[in-house]
Amino acid sequence: MEISALNKRITFQELKTNINENGFEVEEWIYFKTVWAGVTNLHGREYFEAAAVQMENTVKFTIRYLDGIDTTMRILFKGRHYNIVSIDNIKYKNRFIEIKAMEVELSG
């Protein structure tokens, strides 16, 4: 993977529970980290495998290694939200991470 391919900005968000001014617990998405990423959609065999399990809205993000991310987080990219489905530390070299994430339809 060439570093120049990491040309899109994505933001990781994590769900936190806070207490509001009335003393009630409120869950909200908090920014974790903004990084450079390579973004591609699934194609070929990967796309058809995802379509078989209704995951054709899956996008693949490639980033430099970042400690502390997990599948409970979500990604914000171009105003859209993506739930993280899988995280792959490529060849366990701690250089690049490939993340598959599925687009979330937010209800108003």
At 13-38, the pLDDT tens digits run 999 999 989 989 999 999 999 999 99
CATH entry, 3-104, from 2.60.120.920, 2.40.160.10, 2.40.10.270, 3.30.1300.10: 2.40.10.270
At residue 4, the pLDDT reads 82
- pLDDT grade, residue 65 (50/70/90)? very high
> Is the pLDDT reported for residue 68 higher than 70?
yes
- Residue 58 structure tokens: 């899956």
Q: Identify whether the C-beta of residue 28 lies closer than 8 Å to the C-beta of residue 19.
A: no
Place of tokens 């591609």: 40
Q: Are 27 and 17 in contact (CB under 8 A)?
A: yes
Q: 107 by DSSP, 3-state: which?
A: coil
Bridge partners for 96 per DSSP: 64
Per the confidence metrics, is the pTM higher than 0.85? Answer: no
* DSSP single-letter state for residue 3: G
Q: Is-contact 67 1, C-beta < 8 A? A: no
- Tens of pLDDT along 37-60? 999 986 555 555 655 545 557 899
Q: How far apart are CA 7 and CA 4, in angstroms?
A: 6
